Structure 1
Amino acid sequence: MTESGNGAGRLDEPAAIGRRVLRLRTELGMTQRQLAEPAYTPAYVSTLESGKVRPSEAALRHLAERLGVTPGELATGRPARLAAELRLRLTDARRALATGAPEDAAALFRTLCAEAVEHALPAEQAAALLGLGECLLESGDLDEAHECFASVERLLADEPLPRRVPAIRGRANAHRLTGELRYACHLLETALDQLNASGLHDPDALLLLYTASIAPYMDMGAPERAAHAAELALALAPRVDDPALLAGMHRGVARTLIAQGRIAEADASLARAQDLYRQLHIRTELAHCHWMRGYVHAQDGDLVRAETELRTAHDMLTAKRAALFAAQVEVELADVLRRRGRGREAEALLRPILAGGAETGPAGEAAEPAEIPAPQAGRGAVHVGAAHRLLGLIAEECGDTKAAEEHYRAGLPLLERAGAAGDVAALCCLLGDLLRRTGRTEAALDAYRRGLAHRTTPGTTTLGPAPAPPPM
């Protein structure tokens, strides 16, 4: 099959086009001469209908006009309205994802993907797979989400790189949530270098990539690189019109401001993001803003406001059935509850997270004590490690040093495999302090050395040179 510049897209084989011309001509009761004149001969129409020649673009336009169809429909057999209708339904599916449960939106995207495949509409198939991948990220089906984004990249392999950037960002997010921080950074940095090296300085694509890189940089303990990405994103912002991209940028920048202790500025940045998400009716991202504002208040010592914001985020994510994100908020909320002296409530939130996503019920509901279970493989290693850290702290506060040590040791390999250098160092420090207090000095020194190995050169032990900035 060949490509045509007439807007029809990928053309059918000559035999299929010929059969289509013959069927339409017969339905209209036209002779070959009537169809051919004045530009062509009956012999040409006969040769075309037998599948012995491929019509030129000019011939397609002439025949389509005489037969009452579009050139694209004649060349591919697809009604001209089909792609437009699919695109409208894709918009509806994206709206369903923004406001409702990811499982419901996923069903819509699966249907649209199947229809796009049936009618050979690769662009619409890619859009449906992209939406499906976002649904699967929310529901925590990270392996399937990764495959959706990879499929989009394959479908768009011949398209300019900016067209593939949303799928690259999605795949990087799947790796980050799985705990593969290093590879997530690699994907984003590679795309940035390719964009800048090729001169494809697309502001939207660049802003999306720089914003997406902030979270894995921060998780890896590379705040300087995250701050640099935030600076570049802010410099690109005046050239971007998409409010969703700008809202995501403000949310990402806020995280770097928190790390720098600029609490008021971080809260203002999150307020701007919230306003945009509220206008766009994107409930998951709005919940993320409440989540981050809760974290900001916790860092500032205002635990009452922190709990309020985190519960709002948790309620919104639970209502949307965004299971993985709701579990991550539960870790933050549990930390606030522990700091407020409500250790049992905190433990009730954390135990199901270690079980790999069991049903948790309302935030703060009491649960029976349980043995330390293994987390579900491939899901949220960083926040499962954080859950172990908090349960260890709670155990220490209750005087159970044995349980505390078990939790600290269980969390360390999860965080190390994820490459979360800062979290590893902090957890090693807690373990070292516990071992020192219980008289095991040599073991404590080993724990401290283990942590120091991750803090020697933050952000550079696992990452190569930063991507080159684009010319502004």
Structure 2
Amino acid sequence: MDSLGQKIRNLRKERKMTQLALARGLVTPSMISQIESDKATPSQELLEQLAARLGVKPSFFADDIHHKTDLVQAYRRAKQLMEAENYAAALPLLQTLTAPVPPQFREEVLFLDLAQCYERLQQYGDAANMYEEVVRASLERDDVPRAVHAYFHLGQLERRQSRWGVARMHWQRAAELLRRHPDLNMPIAMKIYANLGRIHMQLRQFEVALESYRRAVVLAERYQAQLDHAMILHGMGAAYIELGRYELGEDKLQEAIRIYDVIRHQRGINQCHVNIGIGLRRAGKFVEAKEKLSWCIEHREIRLDVLRLANALSERAACCLELEQWDEAIADAKEAVLLDKDTPELQLLARHTLAVAYMHKNEPQLALENANLGLQCSAETHDMTLVSGLYSVRAQALWALGDAASASADAIRVANMALSAY
């Protein structure tokens, strides 16, 4: 069925009239063009004047006006429901406007509204499909900023479901659009590069993470986004530590602490202090690292922050292990695994510490139990050094307990992991 605009255009062409002729004395030719493409709706008075000029009665368009008005009212109602956070009620109204999308509406706008409803209702698959439609429709109109925003939200959806590789793909596509359009002034670009930095850190791609963080930090300074600036510097510090560039890592963490302090972001301050301790341990400065981590553990603000406290305890336990302080290592690691049961990396490090310490204390059964508990977390981490270490300790424990066959199998596994690393 033809729309109102299509009917007016067809009648005009049947009468061999130009848009200029139809518009003369009433409106501009541009307005006629917008009406015919359903981007504008004529008033009742104008519609009567156009009908007279086209030689039809105004009633010829009555059904079209009513239909168009009904669609506009449905959309307005849906937006009101969204503003009231009643997404379940807004969703069916929006769905009625997309099969197909009426010509007076822009596809990408409707799809974006639908995506937001699905996302708020935690229907992530449907939300992702709608954001993909936003990207398609936006790029067809050369609306690059809207496509960048849609890619950002797609990445956020996938990150929420721990689908890191897919999230990275969407953010990389957004970053590619930004690179191809350097004139775009978009604060969200900072978040896209920061998220790419975090995800490359998660995947242990530290040099690539640094490159993303460098782009993000320039944008954070430009837009004076203090929290984002601190978090990006924080990420850069962690990346430098992972790459063995400990002094640079500590410098960036100290910069982050100064900004966190200005905006009173205590959790960020806490984690930066713990990360400085981690850097000292990674640098082989075990006594200094233990002192720094002890300061963290005794600090009032960190004692109130359970996750940061568990992190500091786990790291201090690893320092004690290197200093051959077996009982202290066991006490700290046991406390850490009880405080934070949900972080695989922490569980892996603490269980490794416990397994090694118990082997040194000649308690192979406890060493075996902790090695097995640590390996249960191995699927959720990319730290193969600790995983290999757990298999090695388990092999020693199994050998001490008389299970030579299982011990040999673990020893072979450790050797294969070492070979695959080269």
Q: Would you say same fold, with TM above 0.5?
A: yes
What SS class does the counterpart of residue 368 from structure 2 fall into? helix
In the alignment, which of 282, 287, 303 is matched to residue 315 of structure 1?
303
CA distance change for structure 1 residues 53 and 217 in 2, over 3 Å: closer, same or farther? closer
TM-score of the pair, normalised by structure 2: 0.59
Counterpart AA for 2:234: R
Rg (Cα) greater in structure = 2
Q: Deviations over 1:66-124 (max 9, x none)?
A: xxxxxx889614788x98xx6xxxxxxxxxxxxxxxxxxxxxxxxx7x34555669868
Query: Residues 347 and 273 (structure 1 numbering): CA distance in 2 closer, same or farther, change over 3 Å?
Result: closer
Alignment-derived partner of residue 139 in structure 2: none
Gaps spanning 5+ residues in structure 1: where? 1-34, 61-71, 87-111, 133-143, 176-182, 219-224, 358-378, 461-472
Aligned residue in 2 for 1:412: 375
Q: Which moved more, 1:402-411 or 1:236-245?
A: 236-245
Deviation at 1:439, TM superposition (A): 7.8
Overall identity of the aligned pairs, in %:
10
The code of the aligned residue for 1:407 comes to N
Looking at secondary structure, tell me which structure has more helix per residue: 2
Q: Which amino acid aligns with 2:387?
A: V
Listed one character per residue, the Cα deviations across residues 383-402 of structure 1 (whole Å, up to 9, x for unaligned) are 33333222223423443121
Q: How does 1:427-438 map to 2 (within 5 A)?
A: 427-434=390-397
Q: Which residue of 1 aligns with 2:170?
A: 191
**Deviations, residues 195-219 of structure 1 (Å, cap 9, x unaligned):** 466666574254133212233223x
Equivalents in 1 of 2:161, 2:58: separation in Å? 55
Give the one of 387, 396, 401 matched to 1:424: 387
2 CA distance for matches of 1:166 and 1:333? 38
Cα distance change, pair 284–171 in 1 and its aligned pair in 2 (3 A): farther
Deviation of 1:329 after TM superposition, in Å, equals 5.3
Within-5 A mapping of 1:136-147: none
Residue 342 of structure 1: SS of its match in structure 2?
Answer: helix
Q: Secondary structure at the match of 1:261?
A: coil
Q: How does 1:8-407 map to 2 (within 5 A)?
A: 39-41=46-48, 52-54=66-68, 76-77=76-77, 114-115=85-86, 118=89, 153-154=128-129, 156-157=131-132, 158-159=134-135, 160-165=147-152, 168-169=155-156, 171-172=158-159, 175=162, 183-184=163-164, 186-195=165-174, 203-204=189-190, 206-218=192-204, 225-240=205-220, 241=223, 242-299=225-282, 300-301=285-286, 302=288, 303-310=290-297, 312=299, 314-318=302-306, 328=311, 330-336=313-319, 341-343=327-329, 345-350=331-336, 352=338, 357=341, 379-407=342-370
- Does the Cα contact within 8 Å between 1:405 and 1:434 map onto a contact in 2? yes
SS of the residue corresponding to residue 428 of structure 1 reads: helix
Alpha-carbon distance between aligned partners in 1 of 2:266 and 2:154, rounded to the nearest angstrom = 21
CA contact (8 A) 2:330 2:354 kept: no
Q: Does residue 454 of structure 1 match 2:417? A: yes
Deviations 1:44-86 (A, max 9, x none): 6997699634159xxx9xxxxxxxxxxx889614788x98xx6
Check conservation: 1:294, 1:305, Cα contact below 8 A.
Answer: yes
The Cα shift of 1:269 comes to 0.9
Shift of 1:127: 7.4
Q: Is the 8 A contact 1:392 1:403 kept in 2?
A: yes
Counterpart AA for 1:246: H
Change (3 A) 1:207 1:452: farther
Maintained 8 Å contact 1:405/1:431: yes
Q: How many pairs are equivalent? A: 326
1:310–1:451 CA distance, 2 compared to 1 (3 A) = farther
Matched letter for residue 234 of structure 1:
R
Indicate conservation of the 8 Å contact 1:254/1:265, yes or no.
yes
Given that 2:131 and 2:151 are in contact with CA atoms closer than 8 Å, whether structure 1 keeps it comes out as yes
Match of 2:36 in 1: none
In structure 2, the residue corresponding to 1:404 is in which secondary structure? helix
CA distance in 1, matches of 2:193, 2:219: 10
What is the identity, as a one-letter code, of the residue corresponding to 1:307?
A: S
Residue deviations 1:266-288 (CA, integer Å, cap 9, x gap): 11111222233344444444433
Change (3 A) 1:287 1:440: same
Match of 1:364 in 2: none
The whole-number CA distance in structure 1 between the counterparts of 2:366 and 2:411 is 20
SS in 1 for 2:211: helix
Distance 1:75 1:152 in 2: 19
2 CA distance for matches of 1:148 and 1:456?
Answer: 44
2 CA distance for matches of 1:344 and 1:428?
19
Do the aligned partners of residues 173 and 425 (structure 1) sit closer, same or farther apart at CA in structure 2, a change above 3 Å counting? farther
Task: Could you tell me which runs of 5 or more consecutive residues in structure 2 were left unpaired when the two chains were aligned.
Answer: 1-41, 50-56, 95-110, 136-146, 181-185
Q: Distance in 1 between the 2:232 and 2:75 partners? A: 43
Shift in Å, 1:251: 1.9
Larger RCO of the pair (alpha carbons < 8 Å, separation 6+) = 1
Cα distance change, pair 198–274 in 1 and its aligned pair in 2 (3 A): same
Give the Cα–Cα distance (whole angstroms) in 1 for the partners of residues 309 and 60 of structure 2: 65
TM-score (normalised: structure 1): 0.54
Secondary structure at the aligned position of 1:399 is classed as coil
Contact 1:307 / 1:337 at 8 angstroms: preserved in 2? no
Q: Given that residues 126 and 152 in structure 1 are in contact (C-alpha distance below 8 angstroms), is that contact kept between their aligned partners in structure 2?
A: yes
- Is the Cα–Cα contact under 8 Å of residues 260 and 266 in structure 2 kept in the other structure? yes
| 1:149 and 1:167 in contact (8 A); partners too | no
- Residue pair 2:231, 2:256 contacting (<8 A) in 1 also: yes
Is the CA contact 1:258–1:296 (under 8 Å) kept in the aligned structure 2? Answer: yes
Superposed CA RMSD in Å reads 4.6
The alignment partner of 1:295 has SS state of helix
Q: Alignment partner of 2:244: what SS?
A: coil
Please tell me whether the aligned partners of residues 169 and 208 of structure 1 are also in contact (alpha carbons under 8 angstroms).
no
